Each structure stands twice: as structure tokens, then as C-alpha cells.
Structure 1
């Protein structure tokens, strides 16, 4: 039998050895308790830029800026919005903007909650596709639709407008009843521009020697 000391605990004849916790485990436990208030003071006391959420938003914004460097600053007009309705990789950015800022009013799939249904054929403030970007940027309905131009850059406005345009006609089941009036279908997207190859320089004929 082992001669190791035992505790006074005994349950149904089962005894417990009195083995202390390893010193390294005890040290980690004590350090974690001491570290917790320091962590809380650093990250949770409202100092700007320190919270995990703010750091995530900063990293996300930087990533978005890097992505937008590929396309430059977009113009919120009909041809641009229509062009991006056909580009799934950029539509996913517009969808991300929608999920971050629009679902509380328009629902997760655009079916409408407080705000109107975006998946039917009726619109309250839209006559043409470029009006989506105008409404997103400037708001509508005396503030019922808030202004987003002070929180989103123009590329985000264009891409979320393109995403909203693709929701039209999906008629999500259980969506809010139609509001406004039915408008004409969106125009066809512009044809993809073909890359123009630089013309080869034409060599001038050498002058004939006399």
C-alpha cells in the first residue's frame, strides 16, 4: 500500500490522497486572477480604439480599403450599379454591408420589417435603379430611412445598392405587404467592355538614298 498521506474524506470506503496541486498550475491560476482586472481596465473602460469590437472594425475597414483599391472610386449611377449586379464577388461585399446595417429595418433577406419589402415589385421612393443609391446616401421618408452617406463610403453605397437591386422579384415568403407603386423593370446591364490592345507602332519607311 502507498504511504502517501490521505485526506479525511471518505465516501463509501473510497479514500482521497492528499496530493497538492502542481506549483506551475497554482502559479498560472494566481496569475490569471491577477491579470483579469488589468485586462478589464485596458479593454473595457471606454478608451477609444482598444475594445475588440473597435479593433475588428478597424481591421475590417482596412481590408475594405484594400479591396476598393482594385476598383477605384465608383460613381453611383445606373450603369455602374447594373454592372455590379452581375459580379458575385463584389455583390458579396454589398451583401455584407446590408447584413451589417439594413436587416433591422428590412429583414435578413430584404423581406421587410419596419422598412418596406425589397423583394417585391413595388417601391415608395424609387423610380430608377440609381435612385436606390440616392435613398441609401440621403435617406427618405423624413428620416424613416436614415442617411448613410456619413457612415458608408461611396463604394459601399454602390455595392449595397447593387445587392438591393438583385433582391427585386424574389418575393420572399412572409414578407411585408407591397407598398408604393410598381415600377418598370431594371434596364439590362451594360455589355462587358473588351480590353483594348495597344496598337503596334507602324515603322516609317526609310528614305531612299539618292
Structure 2
């Protein structure tokens, strides 16, 4: 009967090394702990839902948009600074050109209006807001009136009971600022072409001082 004599130079630990030796140090080939591998697998599986949720195009979920919402919320706390705005043509035109306040209007639009008017105002269920053709607006202040009171037998709901008066003015300024972008949307032109918005006028108190 043949018998195998154990090799006295063979070490059982040799079966668990990679064969790499550096400066007399051997590299063991130990398997990764099971818990570590499952955490790794779970992190990979978590990536697609995370990307879809935060970067899939849904308004208000990206880091930039979350920051804008927080900034707008903070800006609303400053409403005492401007008092309660009236939805006049002069006021709406003024806030079309004030970036920080128009951003508040943008957030109101992104929060409440994109489902009907599109992310950039290009129109979806509701009409395109980026061309020169309007259904229920003839003058710039009519935008605030439509927002406050609704239109088209309720297809455009009234928002006067859900928005702060300042939010109505600021979102009106934002909507007015979309005019001229002429984005392509699913709906064709609806209504009639109206005159341009009034020009921004600088009051005496806002005019630069005369140093002469």
C-alpha cells in the first residue's frame, strides 16, 4: 500500500496565500466578510433608484433646485421688507427685473404650475407662456388676475386662496419674463397676439443721484 509522506517544508497556510511575497511578507488570500460584500452589493443596487429620484428630471429634487426652494423660503421671510404688493402693471414690470424676487416667482411656478404649463412654460395641458399669443391676457396685469381668479371655466384654477399676494405678483413677474423665449411645446398658438409689455420706468427715488 502506497502512503504519502507529508512534506515537512509544506505549511498549511500556504494554501491561503496569493503567492505574492514582498520583503519577506506574504499576502494572504482571505475572503471578504459576508457582511462587507452585502453592503457593497446593496450600495450598487441603491444607485439607480437614487439617480432616478434626484436626477430624473422631476422638478424640485435636484440639489440646485432644493437650494433654490430653501432660498425662496428664506426670501419669503423678507416680505416685510417690501410690504404687500399690489398686482399693478408697474409693480409686475418692476419685479420682472429684480433677480432675487423673480426667483421666488420661479419657485412658485415650479411648485404649482409645471404640471399644466411645462417646466419652462412651453405648455402642456395649459397654453404656451413663452410666445406672444395669449388667450386670457391683454395687459401684463391680467396675468395676476388670471392667477387670482382662474380662467377657462375652472380649467385654470384660482390661486388667490392658496398663494400669498406677494407670491401672485412675483409669479406673474416670472411668467411675464418668459415671453419671447418662443419654446416649442405640444400645443400651437392659442388666442391673439398682444402688444409688448410696458417698459421698466425708474422712479425718482430709484434713479441714480446727479453728481453735477
Query: What's the TM-score once normalised by structure 1's chain length?
Result: 0.63
Residues 129, 175 of structure 2: 8 Å contact kept: yes
SS of structure 2 residue aligned to 1:69? helix
- Cα deviation, residue 67, structure 1: 1.7
Residue 133 of structure 2 corresponds to residue 122 of structure 1: yes
Residue 86 of structure 2 corresponds to residue 75 of structure 1: yes
Residues 127, 187 of structure 2: 8 Å contact kept: yes
| 1:170-205, Cα deviation, whole Å (9 max, x unpaired) | 101345311011111111122244269xxxxxxxxx
- The match for 1:86 is 97
> 5+ unaligned residues in a row in structure 1: which ranges?
1-11, 17-58, 197-210
Specify which of 84, 87, 111 is matched with residue 100 of structure 1: 111
- The match for 1:146 is 157
Query: What's the TM-score once normalised by structure 2's chain length?
Result: 0.62
- The match for 2:179 is 168
CA distance in 2, matches of 1:99, 1:62: 13
Structure 1 vs Structure 2 CA RMSD: 2.7
Distance 1:195 1:124, change over 3 A: closer
Q: Give the number of equivalent residue pairs.
A: 146
CA distance in 2, matches of 1:108, 1:164: 12
> 5+ unaligned residues in a row in structure 2: which ranges?
1-14, 17-28, 32-69, 208-212
Deviation >4 Å, runs of 4+: 12-16, 59-62
